[in-house]
Structure 1
Amino acid sequence: MSFDLVRTELTQILTDKSAPVVEITPDTVLLNGPLDIDSLDLATLVVTLEEATGLQPFREGFVLFHTAGELGALFTKAAG
């Protein structure tokens, strides 16, 4: 999965909640960073990505990630 899908879905979440949309790069920190998202928004993002890709990188349990790029990489790794 490309980082572009993560960026697209993050932008949609921010737009839906009328939050400022800032530039999202692979190094963008997801929580406690420049994005106005909380843990519920992050959970929504993960579910949306799972539904869009059919991949479940957290099937074996939670894997720590901090940035948009790290999240994209987890989905890429799950694709095998």
Structure 2
Amino acid sequence: MTEQDVLKQIQDITNRILSDKGLGEANISSNTELLGGEVAIDSLDLATLVSELEEINGFDPFASGFIEFQTAGELARLYAR
């Protein structure tokens, strides 16, 4: 799974979360800040996103502890192999 593949997963999951909240889709790039930026997700939504990425990709990069990230690209790099 490449970083671009994971970024696409992030885009798809985030847009489903936004749709479930009755909001429009967001264009996610590697520089998109996931919290406090232009994407209308909160910390619970972010936890859902991370959980779904773990399920899809079959591993948890946070198993040994939290790794700080702010952007979609930083998160994608954690799951890329």
Asked if TM exceeds 0.5, the reply is: yes
Q: Per-residue CA shift, 1:24-55, capped at 9, x if unaligned? A: 11110000000110000000000011011111
Q: Give percent identity, aligned residues only.
A: 45
Query: Is residue 2:39 matched to residue 1:14?
Result: no
* Equivalent of 1:58 in 59, 62, 71: 62
Query: What is the Cα deviation at residue 21 of structure 1?
Result: 1.7
TM normalised by structure 2 equals 0.88
The equivalent of 2:31 in structure 1 is 27
Q: TM-score, normalised by structure 1?
A: 0.89
Question: Any stretches of 5+ residues in structure 2 without a counterpart?
Answer: none
Total equivalences in the alignment: 77
> Which amino acid in structure 2 is aligned with residue 42 of structure 1?
L
2:53 corresponds in structure 1 to 49
Instruction: State the match for 2:43 in structure 1.
Output: 39
Cα RMSD for the two superposed structures = 1.0
Structure 1 segments (4+ residues) deviating >2 Å = none
- Cα distance in 2 between the residues matched to 1:27 and 1:63: 17
Partners in 1 of 2:26 and 2:52 — Cα distance? Answer: 20
1:68 matched to 2:68: no
Gaps of at least 5 residues in structure 1 are none
Cα separation, 2, equivalents of 1:22 and 1:44: 17
